[in-house]
Structure 1
């Protein structure tokens, strides 16, 4: 079996936080309970996805603000906030506030590009500026500057009884070093490196130079590191869907296998005009999944992961999957974390 160059150093997980339209509170509470469980199991990080006008977390920063008050150690991340829906100055204020509340545990992941279905939502989102909004990397650069403490205005000082700052408040020292870019292309990998961000790789990538998923991720890793000031020490996290079955019931195993089988056809060839490649879901015992990961050329060059939980499973399924990842799969990958209690 091929071995990774280094054992797994940081183990994280990602959840979409689905909810029932008729009872959204229950779904949000489930997400918070899953994050609390992750801390008890010793996970290094918990990440939440971002969904607008859907039945998943639409405000990950607000959800993570709640999570800061129910955890004390685990890092909390967004994977990712699409900046096309955000005002960078307001988002910088929210991120800094939550980072302060967490004691410096926030890891904001962002991406750029027009909002999904922009033609249908632009009149509600940007009724006066829809045709002039900039959805390029410049939007990320604006956010980074504000998080790093660069001036947002040329005014500061006292006006009456009010005291004004020329930069975003609160300012959270250290937050800028924990800003991530979620990218699926060589261009994004290079941009993230050149701009000193950490890099989040997901289970979806663009088939540019290859049609082999692992080879594509490997090219992103090497491109990112080649352009980052920290080189091989720059933070990069691999995202894949893994579903260990060590403690699963027969019914759960059957459900998991059916889920993966239904999604497998899309992993065979690039999909759509953008030629997107999807990673196969990894279902099996932790030993079987570890063997497949050790043979993955991209995994062998990273020491940090954020394994994605499947979208549509039940709360008890996530408990079983996370428990098996922490107690079986993580150690099989060389992870030496443990209970956070």
Structure 2
């Protein structure tokens, strides 16, 4: 593991104790989270994208604001449900953000996950065509998006267009290198292998769509191995990147102890472990929460095969506690990254 960043859902609610009570609070505080992460020495600020819920849904305006207020950290999405997207308009928006960010945008995409709407993409004007599966629909949109951000000609020119004869008009603006920073959120070993074949980076979440009885880290590490093998076999240049997400709650002071001690008690009593459940009609493995002091966290994360196999660890955070509280968490996570890196070097 070389990089560590946060992953925020951008929730807001009026629940007792919430510091993020309105949509305005959520947008402003997410920008503050990016600033806090950069100040604390983290490597990335990533946001989840969900529709029809009280959380971040339109990432590009927010990412542009985060880019304008930071200078070093990666800015990413984990993940955009492509079934909601016009891939050409998204290519314009993504390139705009990447140019503002100076090439720091990392775009995670996928077919999406279960959501409140019965058919959200249809409500957005993208009903599923007859005989086409959601995976196939998302894949076709991703293909068009990748071509667009790669600068490939898309549209037939009109009589006033200034392009070489027989050429097609590309999407503008174009941000060189963005096409090499597209990730896919894979849930199973087949989709991980396909991601490698297509030359996209791999994102793996706090759950996988497999239920072998093995720990999450073991199942994910096997997926990572298959992904990297597929990348090599396809002959793609460069190094494939892999991120895994984990719920990590460092206890480093009285306030973090107040918030997280109940989770630690449950952990010490054996009630915090990976478990098997069902999501999207598929039996899946869900990851546990890592909680405690840095010594305990380091020891347990070194035993997580997927964390140690990945180059990027994304930590899901309690964003409703606000940027000021999470800054303390970010400082602890930066130290945890250094501990794990030194241990690997030894």
Of 12, 16, 33, which residue of structure 1 is paired with 2:5?
Answer: 12
Of 151, 164, 182, which residue of structure 1 is paired with 2:153?
Answer: 151
Q: What is the rounded CA distance, in whole Å, between the counterparts of 1:123 and 1:302 in structure 2? A: 36
Q: What is the rounded CA distance, in whole Å, between the counterparts of 1:315 and 1:113 in structure 2? A: 27
- What is the 5 A alignment of 1:1-341? 8-20=1-13, 23-112=22-111, 116-117=115-116, 119-121=118-120, 123-126=122-125, 129-132=127-130, 135=134, 136=136, 137-155=139-157, 158=160, 166-207=169-210, 209=212, 211-228=214-231, 229-230=235-236, 233-249=239-255, 250-254=257-261, 256-257=263-264, 267-272=274-279, 273-310=281-318, 312-326=320-334, 328-334=335-341
Distance verdict in 2 for CA 1:259–1:125, change over 3 Å: farther
Moved more, 222-231 or 289-298: 222-231
- Cα displacement string for residues 267-300 of structure 1 (whole angstroms, at most 9, x for unaligned residues): 3223353112111010011111111111112222
Q: CA RMSD in A?
A: 3.0
- Give the match's secondary structure for 1:119: coil
- Cα displacement string for residues 249-283 of structure 1 (whole angstroms, at most 9, x for unaligned residues): 3422335547979xx67832233531121110100
- Give the match's secondary structure for 1:214: helix
Distance verdict in 2 for CA 1:311–1:86, change over 3 Å: same
Q: Structure 1 runs of 4+ off > 6 angstroms?
A: 258-261
Q: How many residues align?
A: 324
Q: What is the rounded CA distance, in whole Å, between the counterparts of 1:259 and 1:149 in structure 2? A: 52
- Give the match's secondary structure for 1:271: strand
Contact 1:207 1:275 in 2 (8 A): yes
Segments of structure 1 that go 5 or more residues without pairing to the other structure are 1-7, 337-341
Contact 2:273 2:289 in 1 (8 A): no
Segments of structure 2 that go 5 or more residues without pairing to the other structure are 15-20
Aligned-pair distance for 1:144?
1.2
TM-score norm. by structure 1 comes to 0.85
- Cα displacement string for residues 60-97 of structure 1 (whole angstroms, at most 9, x for unaligned residues): 11110111111111110000101111111111111011
Q: What is the rounded CA distance, in whole Å, between the counterparts of 2:59 and 2:293 in structure 1? A: 31
Contact 1:10 1:335 in 2 (8 A): no
- Cα displacement string for residues 164-213 of structure 1 (whole angstroms, at most 9, x for unaligned residues): 97111111110011111111111211111011111111111111555421
